[in-house]
Structure 1
């Protein structure tokens, strides 16, 4: 088999045994050799295809440790609202999208921030003012609530008599009428379920293709999908069958509260046996324990600035046996827990599973951990739990409302990545796209500077919690691969692993702090094949 030789580069391997190199040899889908130019050339053979890297930097392909792949593609096709700083600007963009898509049965947008809405309270009339004749559905930036207009409430069949679903809320005004703001499971079970039913396979295929292009062109070669359902998994399976799935996807099946967990976990175990390829693998389950700090739906040990708090979406009495059942089935458990109260509950549930099921190979994880009580930080390492975090959520440009909701010194310990590493826990980085931008390099920039990728001129927040560029890149490649049980397949540049890597136009380790923000991906290689090239 003819080899391909990549020579004269600066390789960050992520391999502690050989952390840097200048060449690699690819044979078929796998890396055959990593090391010096002379040995690589001899190993490749006289008939090898040689590509001169001309001193450019090569990194392992990024492993987005927490993503929502099809949703990220759908977001590419909606009105973009994250940088809309006022209600007037949100309304303008929604109206513009409606005008540009006159045949769309629904007006769709994503990414609005609570800080852009008067008093942080979105209402249907605000949207009725600009689109009265078509249903409008706007996902919040954190994807934990949806803002809709009157036509959408009518389409959904939501009235003053509609009960709140378990773990969610239909926000109502003083008269008891729905305001158009649907939180947590009211968004997931009512809105998203409805939109999934009215979307076609062709819609999902188009969204997946958009997501695949976006990820590969930014350097992501593997994404861990944290909310698989039947529709999204079917789209991924179709793409794999049709040889369109250039992005590797490792999935967690979403377990819904208020429903018998037994059949759901059995289905996840069945899918884990069925989907085991290097392109598409189901590895575990996902539980959403609480909401988000921005919307005051995350569960805190101490109340928010306004005196409120939020009940968890799962009670510990319901969560602990469900986690134990998944653990017993050999599934990897991921628990969304943002507030310190939810993180403690997640740790308690994982500790319960270890107690009732006894010693066994485990690689469970907690997602987000935006604020964790200091007493609980050591428990992650003690229980072998991965801290799966997203630096992009700490972007100073979107932190004002987050800090205001806490209203005290807790905000100074937000997103404390070094604490988890220092305690001995494994730290994996992702983006949670589409709740945040998907490109990994700006994500790494925020991790290494605590500055904003959205507003680079703004000052750093909590710069003492920044980490080094090598550490950040390891968390976004090798550690993320380990966290999804893929360390023997991807995440490093090492002989025998799949040839997944990216070539950058500049060195991310130079002395300029903003290099990671300015760096461009020139080439993305997956399984030895170039799937993106910046011409």
Structure 2
């Protein structure tokens, strides 16, 4: 039986390329874009007459009037943590808690509402809730919930605040060693205070929670993440913290459904061990798993494309590697020292694994580019290398110039510089660096490829709010706030391209997604507000009107 063709008309169709004027319609057949352009031309390509009726043999043709709405390629989330996002949606939400007392009230309320819960988990507390000189302690949480473990991830997802019961559950004592690149904060007696930084949070906190979580939990979290993203116009994601539990959860979907709700590119997260042979063995194992997964499932839905290096921490906790000290004099080193980062990066690159390099501080991004340059020196130039640096919150001008010369993508997250979350960020830097962060405009001027994402759940996952910040440099959380460095902002077309074609390029899928053009997968979003013409404020709090995945409606607003 001939396939049905659907023509979407009376729309503003942004094709994904900022240099191309919007079209008025597009047609979909068999999960692919058939044509995009003037309605008469699209009808002709679909085999319809001027009135939209199908010619003999062309198959059924349906037309959908979109009422002048903006249509773009579906957003490809440039930096995602799918399982973490799904799990975070079920945790106690703390991003808008303004004081320690508010945090205490919320976890106490969660305990009262779930008296049989074996533990309380929360997410997204902010450093500016503490008074000057104050640090998170177990005693603060014990005052609210003393009887079951409490695990609270910070807004940056690099630090964890826990109570005494959680320290006991994790088995942390005076003798527990700090892992490479992390710290268990301790008091003058050597006892853990309840604050875990960087790899200590990941190894002890996340490691414990992973042990007590079930496959059913992970399946529920992953499904929730897919649903949450699709509702906001996302139909593809670059997963940036992939590991064995994630792979098992994805396998279960693929075995059951034969597909994912939308395509995902995964970067396997590497753990700095301090032993080069161990690190190199991990790279070899990732390459083996990549090939095994591709052989079993193909690459239409899940691709293990690369590895993720967390080169440093975060500015809020003063753990990001900077060229100059923080306001308090701290000068932390990187999590991956050059002597390990460079040879491991070269091995990954030689295995055809894409490098994703978390670098928030200006020293860390220097190391990131040293790693890329070493890959080029040892393995030779390669047009499909597509190395990418993640976050780039405080970055030097010479690094931006090097990125342009080396063809490295800047993967950045507008929601990370929402003015409502920058008070502590600016305070701990304390100098000119506090006023020159997130320099999107400098990357654009230098010709550095840009890919925008959210890094959810370190920040809100909603694509319209992320777009609003890219367009205004204002806050989506507290709209009374002044814009942060508004000279950085994108034009609407620039931002939409960086959310769609830009992220598709960064993830090496630009030949199949990121455009509304003939032959591309019909992954598209109909926006509730038109970012090209409406006031940016109209985007706030909206969801997608329609999200298409391979031509099918994955989400439709009621």
**TM-score (ref. length: structure 2):** 0.94
Quote the Cα distance in structure 2 between the aligned partners of 1:511 and 1:155: 52
Q: Secondary structure at the match of 1:4?
A: strand
Q: 1:200 aligns with which of 180, 202, 214?
A: 214
Q: Secondary structure at the match of 1:379?
A: helix
16 and 175 in structure 1: CA distance in 2 versus 1, 3 angstrom threshold:
closer
Quote the Cα distance in structure 1 between the aligned partners of 2:345 and 2:125: 33
Partner of 2:99: 86
Residue 19 (structure 1) shift: 3.6
Partner of 1:162: 176
Question: Does structure 1 retain, via aligned residues, the 8 Å contact 2:33–2:517?
Answer: yes
Partner of 1:368: 391
Equivalence map 1:333-482=2 (5 Å): 333-361=355-383, 362-482=385-505
Q: 1:84-127: CA deviations, max 9, x gaps?
A: 00001001111112222222211000000111133451000111
Quote the Cα distance in structure 2 between the aligned partners of 1:353 and 1:293: 28
Residue 15 (structure 1) shift: 3.4
Residue 270 (structure 1) shift: 2.0
Query: Is 263-272 or 362-371 further displaced after alignment?
Result: 263-272
Q: Secondary structure at the match of 2:536?
A: coil
Question: Does structure 1 retain, via aligned residues, the 8 Å contact 2:152–2:160?
Answer: yes
Partner of 1:269: 287
323 and 374 in structure 1: CA distance in 2 versus 1, 3 angstrom threshold:
same
Partner of 1:23: 25
Q: 2:64 aligns with which of 51, 58, 73?
A: 51
Query: Is 97-106 or 370-379 further displaced after alignment?
Result: 97-106
Q: 1:295 aligns with which of 317, 325, 329?
A: 317
Q: 1:100 aligns with which of 106, 113, 126?
A: 113
Quote the Cα distance in structure 2 between the aligned partners of 1:63 and 1:22: 22
Equivalence map 1:62-211=2 (5 Å): 62-118=75-131, 119-211=133-225
Q: 2:554 aligns with which of 526, 531, 535?
A: 531
Matched, 1:246 2:261: yes
Matched, 1:503 2:521: no
Quote the Cα distance in structure 2 between the aligned partners of 1:17 and 1:392: 25
Residue 5 (structure 1) shift: 1.2
Quote the Cα distance in structure 2 between the aligned partners of 1:130 and 1:17: 56
Q: 1:347-398: CA deviations, max 9, x gaps?
A: 1111111101112231101100000112221000111110100010000000
Partner of 1:35: 37
Q: Secondary structure at the match of 1:311?
A: coil
Consecutive unaligned residues in structure 2, runs of 5 or more: 48-53, 55-59
Residue 443 (structure 1) shift: 0.7
Quote the Cα distance in structure 2 between the aligned partners of 1:299 and 1:213: 36
Q: Secondary structure at the match of 1:261?
A: helix
- Give the number of aligned pairs: 535
Residue 53 (structure 1) shift: 0.9
Residue 16 (structure 1) shift: 6.0
Query: Is 98-107 or 22-31 further displaced after alignment?
Result: 98-107
Question: Does structure 2 retain, via aligned residues, the 8 Å contact 1:449–1:460?
Answer: yes
Quote the Cα distance in structure 2 between the aligned partners of 1:319 and 1:172: 28
Quote the Cα distance in structure 2 between the aligned partners of 1:91 and 1:500: 43
Question: Does structure 2 retain, via aligned residues, the 8 Å contact 1:508–1:519?
Answer: no
Q: Secondary structure at the match of 1:21?
A: coil
Equivalence map 1:317-336=2 (5 Å): 317-336=339-358
Consecutive unaligned residues in structure 1, runs of 5 or more: none
Quote the Cα distance in structure 2 between the aligned partners of 1:270 and 1:7: 46
Q: Secondary structure at the match of 1:147?
A: strand
Q: Secondary structure at the match of 2:188?
A: coil
Quote the Cα distance in structure 2 between the aligned partners of 1:492 and 1:456: 32
Quote the Cα distance in structure 2 between the aligned partners of 1:17 and 1:475: 13
